[in-house]
Amino acid sequence: MRDIPTHRALCSDLLHREGPAVEARTVSVVRAGKTALEGITFQLDPGDLLAVVGPNGAGKTTLLQVLSGTLPPTSGEVRIFGHRPARHICIAYLPQRPGVDFRFPVTVADVVMMGRTALLGPLRRPRGPDRERVAEALSLVGIAPLARRPIDRLSGGEQQRMFIARAIAQEANVLLLDEPLAGLDAPAQEGILELLGRLRAEQITSIVALHELDLAQAHFPLALLLNARAIGFGPPGEVFTPVRLQEAYGTGLRIFDTASGPIALSDTCCEGGDHDHR
The answer on 111 and 17 residing in a single domain is no
**Domain extent for 152:** 104-170
> Does residue 274 surpass a pLDDT of 60?
no
Residue of 84, 73, 85 whose CA lies nearest to 31:
73
Which of 170, 203, 221 finishes a domain? 170
Can you give the three-state secondary structure of 204-252, one letter per residue?
Answer: CEEEEEECCHHHHHHHCCEEEEEECEEEEEECHHHHCCHHHHHHHHCCC
Is 95 domain-assigned? no
Q: Give a three-class secondary structure readout of 118-159.
A: HHHCCCCCCCHHHHHHHHHHHHHCCCHHHCCCEHHHCCHHHH
Looking at the fold, whether 241 and 149 belong to one and the same domain comes out as no
The mean pLDDT of 147-151, rounded to a whole number, is: 95
| Rounded (10°) angle between helices 156-169 and 186-201 | 20
The pLDDT tens digits of the residues spanning 170-190 come to: 888 999 999 988 888 888 889
User: Quick one: pLDDT band at residue 278, thresholds 50, 70, 90?
Assistant: very low
Average pLDDT over residues 4-20: 51
Same domain, 134 and 85: no
Residue 5's nearest CA partner among 77, 64, 85 is 85
Name the pLDDT band for 95 (thresholds 50, 70, 90). Answer: confident
- Within-domain flag for 144: yes
